[in-house]
Amino acid sequence: MHIMEGYLPWQWCIFWYLVMAPFVIYGIYLLNKQVKEHRETLSLLAVSGAFIFLLSSLKMPSPVVGSCSHPTGTGLSTVLFGPFITCVLSAIVLVFQALFMAHGGITTLGANDFSMGIAGPLLGYLVYRVAKKVNLNIFVNIFLVAFVADLFTYVITAIELAAAFPATHGGFLISFETFFAIYAVTQVPLAIVEGLLIALVFKYIVQSRGDILVKLKVLTPEQVTKIMEGFK
């Protein structure tokens, strides 16, 4: 999903920076509030950020398609801390990769953070709330959130590129098809792996720090006890 340095016309770079700005500013505000008022959640915040770091560095082959891509790892922090804080964490990772690996770019940071840090997690969060309302099993819920956040990130990248580079014949839709085939199709198996991994990790978090999940209002104390019992 990384759009490389210089691969977006400057007008689009500015546009996506303007779109990203309010999310990041509000995210930083929430992040500060979280750290000040709920210090005990800091360790899980670090773990969530670390998952974005870890998963977005793994370039995996997409077995069916024959190309490689990487997961985004944003699912965990979306569930625990919401999409706004996730967009700040993603921006940190994207800057790191842009500066040291020439992967992504500073000019394209707005577009990349919009897809990975904002649009993906926002849709994932929506899925999370709806699934919670209908009392879906929490692990299935987490799987879906991570799967959706990952896959939708790549759909958005395809939309961003199709908007910036509409085909001369057929325009936006034709070039969306091209970019969708490159990005989103490759991503499906990786999004499944990511979803399963995040759901598994969530089990470990429940087992070790269920109390923080209760504080973050992800689970009720009864649910924590029930899950612990279920894995005995």
Partner 1 sequence: MIPRFFIKYKLEIIFVVFIVIFAAVFLINNANIQATAKPGQETWQGSDDQGSAAIEATGYTPWIQPIWTPPSTEVESLLFSIQSGLGAFVIGYFFGFYRGKRDSATPA
For 94-123, give one letter per residue: b (16+ CB within 10 A) or e: beebbeeeebbbebbbbbbbbbbbbbbbbb
Biggest CA–CA distance in the chain, Å, is 61
Binder of partner 1 out of 22, 200, 220, 221 (CB under 8 A): 200
| Cβ-proximal residues to 109 (8 Å cutoff; 6+ apart), any chain | 17, 20, 91, 94, 95, 98
Min dist CB 211 to partner 1, Å, is 10
Count of residues binding partner 1 (CB under 8 A)? 70
Q: Does 96 bind partner 1 (CB under 8 A)?
A: yes
CA distances from 58 to 72, 114, 116, 200, 211 (A): 9, 20, 15, 18, 31
- 14 vs 25 by CB, closer to partner 1: 14
The token pair that represents 175 in the structure block? 């070039």
Q: Does 173 bind partner 1 (CB under 8 A)?
A: no
Local structure of residue 69 (DSSP, 8 states) = E
- 31 vs 47 by CB, closer to partner 1: 47
Question: Which amino acid type is present at position 197?
Answer: L
Question: Which amino acid type is present at position 120?
Answer: G
Q: Does 229 bind partner 1 (CB under 8 A)?
A: no
The CB density around residue 38, as the number of other CB atoms within 10 Å, is 14
Min dist CB 218 to partner 1, Å, is 16
Q: Does 91 bind partner 1 (CB under 8 A)?
A: no
Binder of partner 1 out of 26, 28, 177, 178 (CB under 8 A): 178
Q: Does 230 bind partner 1 (CB under 8 A)?
A: yes
Contacts with partner 1, residue ranges (CB under 8 A): 1-7, 9-10, 43-44, 46-47, 49-59, 61-64, 66-69, 96-103, 105-107, 139, 154, 157, 161, 165, 167, 175, 178-179, 182-183, 186-187, 189, 192-193, 196-197, 199-200, 203-204, 208-209, 230-232
